[in-house]
Structure 1
Amino acid sequence: MTIVQVIQAIWAVSALALIVLVLLHSPKGDGIGGIGGQAQLFTSTKSAETALNRITWVFSVIFIGFTVVLSAGWLGK
């Protein structure tokens, strides 16, 4: 197994994890009440939502980083 195949496997797993994590997020749209930040007055940020946001960001950075590396061909074949 070459380094390219390992990175492709990690890239595919991060893509699937990113899909699942985005689907786990709670909807934030409050219709017309969301305009101007009015909806933020009555909501509290929970630690689970914060952790989910951080994990989603980590997987998105991994996915985008490996996408750039794989598409640029920096590793050779």
Structure 2
Amino acid sequence: MTITQLTEIIWLVSAIALIILVLLHSPKGDGIGGIGGQAQLFTSAKSAETSLNRITWGLTIVFMGTTIVLSAGWLG
């Protein structure tokens, strides 16, 4: 297994994990529900949501970094 193949595997796993994590996030927008007055103006930040955000941002950095490395051809 070459370093390029390993980087591609990391890229693929991070892409799939990002899709799953983004789908796990709670919706932030009120959409149509905001018109009926059901929207909450202030909500408390939950530790699970904070952890989910941190993991998502970390995976985003990994995904973007491996995308740049693979697309630039720096690995040979």
Confirm or deny a common fold (TM above 0.5): yes
Q: CA RMSD in A?
A: 1.7
TM-score after normalising by structure 1: 0.85
Would you say how many aligned residue pairs link Structure 1 and Structure 2? 72
TM-score after normalising by structure 2: 0.86
Using a 3 Å threshold, how does the CA distance of structure 1 residues 75 and 40 change in structure 2: closer, same or farther?
farther
4+ long deviations beyond 2 Å = 31-34, 39-42
Cα distance in 2, alignment partners of residues 2 and 42 from structure 1: 50
Structure 2 gap segments, 5+ residues each: none
Deviation at 1:42, TM superposition (A): 2.3
Give the corresponding residue for 2:21: 21
Give the corresponding residue for 1:44: 44
> How big is each residue's C-alpha offset from its partner over 1:7-36, in whole Å with a ceiling of 9 and x where there is no partner?
0000000000000000000001013787xx
